[in-house]
Amino acid sequence: MTRDATPEQSLLEARIKVPQHVVYRSFPSETVVLNLQTGKYHGLNPVAGRMLAVLAEAESVRDAAAVAAGDYEQSSEATELDMCNLCNALLERGLIEIDGSGTC
């Protein structure tokens, strides 16, 4: 009998990509994100901005959380939760996408 992964577990294994129509730039006070399709600007605090940058490069959300945990000296568990919450918020706003190419 197999156990289905929770949505959070699935998200942690997923690879995130920042679509071409989303651009962002980090400033000292915040990261500004522009969705060129909607014309809307979004602001991320410095921690969320750093997480976005790490997500864009990481092979999975879990890997990104591990990097962030190191950066901020937090437990992996807490960072994974924060990372998932951030991903869900960014997904809702169309600022990131789950890379459908899959992982090995």
Closer residue to another protein (CB): 29 or 85: 29
Report in angstroms how near the CB of residue 37 gets to another protein at its nearest.
Answer: 4
> Where do contacts with another protein occur on this chain (CB under 8 A)?
21, 23-25, 27, 29-30, 32, 34, 36-39, 41, 43
Contact 97, 20 (CB under 8 A): no
How many whole angstroms separate alpha carbon 100 and alpha carbon 102? 5
**Pairing mode, strands 22-26 and 31-35:** antiparallel
Closer residue to another protein (CB): 43 or 70: 43
Report in angstroms how near the CB of residue 73 gets to another protein at its nearest.
Answer: 26
Report in angstroms how near the CB of residue 23 gets to another protein at its nearest.
Answer: 4
